[in-house]
Structure 1
Amino acid sequence: MKTLCMDTAHKFLVIGLFEDEKLIAKASERAWKQQSEKFFPALMACMEQAGWCADDLDEIVITEGPGSYTGERIAMTIAKVLCTTKQKPLYTISTFQMVAGSQDRCEVILDARSNRAYVGICEKGQLISECIKTLDEIKIDAEHELIVGDIELLGHEYEEIDFVKNMMDVKPYWKKIEHVHLLVPHYLKSQEELVKQ
């Protein structure tokens, strides 16, 4: 089983190629507002390293958000085109799940701008809850939860996360999309806020 994993919803560009859940090639780099320029060269480099073409893929998994309004659409659009034209199954996970992976209970924070963050509680790969909080609210919560993700928002030094590995680690929680053309990004912000981004 050859799997393509992709994420462009967050500040990173994440691509992983797996064969029978074994990593074959990956790309993971900071690419804030540069995902559209960097995505195809990174994908082509991974496919070349693996010796694969689009027809070789058996399934695709992407993050559905929350995240950047534009960023979420990049990997999702590419996945929808590939899955529709090549008749491949498409699966999604939350961006929170990609960040948390399969570790024990933790609070994932992702920059939502304007002194706020998207907050998701994850436990062993499963998303338990999600919301938006101010950074001050998160600082209060920090006394009670392990916090991962954009922890520099709270004044902590960023810790490297293996997003590609995490996407495969949460495979039991992948959601199969039955109607690919109806898939839309998952937002926690209101439409009014999205228009201002």
Structure 2
Amino acid sequence: MRVLGVDTATTGGGIGIIDDEKVLAEYAFDAGDAPSARLIPAIKTVLDQARLDLAALDAIAVSLGPGSFTGVRVGLSAVKGLSLAGGMAVVGIPTLDALASQLHPTPSLICPLIDARKGEVYAALYKQREGGGLERLTPYQVLSPAALLSQLTSHATVFVGDGVEVYGDFIKGHLGERALFAPPELRFLKGQTVATLGRKRIKQGEQD
């Protein structure tokens, strides 16, 4: 199953294509300022990298946010248009779920963190299940970093997402050694991650 994954909800936009479990192409672009002008060229780039045309895709997965309101709107609009043109299924993936799923196996809690501006973040807490997959422990939230840290227990927590760039020092100052941070190559959402979660939903008989 060939799935195109699209993220424009975060500032580091990602587009990727998978064929079942194989990654065919991945492209990162700056979605922060003008996502509408950059998205379609970015999609064309990954299609060219994978040597595919739109008709070769079976489905498109798109990040639903939280994140940039403009970015989410642009992504959904573009994916809807591509779906109508190509006749493929569309599935939506919560952005925080996708970020959390990028981490390697860890016994620590996982906290994807997206900068919401004005001194707040979008966040949720997760843990990895022993049999695989993630369990979300909190609702999706928008709150101050201080309010988020007040929810954390004595467990070590891995933080991932663009919010780390803004609030990493603040978090480290409050949690000390209990604050862990995803490596830079996993910190920003990849299109292939969105595509992989989308493929899983489709195999379970779900689509939007």
Could you say which TM-score interval applies, normalised by the shorter chain? 0.7 to 0.9
**Quick one: distance in 2 between partners of 1:52 and 1:88?**
14
1:160 aligns with 2:173: no
TM-score (ref. length: structure 1): 0.78
TM-score (ref. length: structure 2): 0.74
* Contact 2:21–2:196 (CA under 8 A) maintained in structure 1: no
Q: Which amino acid is 2:121 matched to?
A: A
* Contact 1:93–1:173 (CA under 8 A) maintained in structure 2: no
Bigger relative contact order, structure 1 or 2 (CA pairs below 8 A, ≥6 apart): 2
| Aligned Cα root-mean-square deviation (Å) | 2.5
Q: What residue number does 1:148 align with?
A: 160
Alpha-carbon offset, residue 155 of structure 1: 3.5
Moved runs in structure 1, 4+ residues, more than 6 A? none
Q: Which amino acid is 1:160 matched to?
A: E
Q: How does 1:42-57 map to 2 (within 5 A)?
A: 42-57=42-57
Q: How does 1:27-176 map to 2 (within 5 A)?
A: 27-101=27-101, 103=103, 104=106, 105-124=109-128, 125-126=133-134, 128=136, 129-141=139-151, 144=155, 145-149=157-161, 150-156=163-169, 159-161=184-186, 163-170=190-197, 171-172=199-200, 176=206
**Quick one: distance in 1 between partners of 2:160 and 2:50?**
31
**Quick one: distance in 2 between partners of 1:70 and 1:12?**
14
3-state SS of paired residue (1:155): helix
3-state SS of paired residue (1:146): strand
Distance verdict in 2 for CA 1:81–1:127, change over 3 Å: farther
Q: Structure 1 vs Structure 2: percent identity of aligned residues?
A: 24
Unaligned segments of structure 2, at least 5 residues: 170-180
Alpha-carbon deviations, 1:25-52, whole Å to 9, x = none?
A: 1111333123222212221111112121
Alpha-carbon deviations, 1:96-123, whole Å to 9, x = none?
A: 0221115454111111111001112233
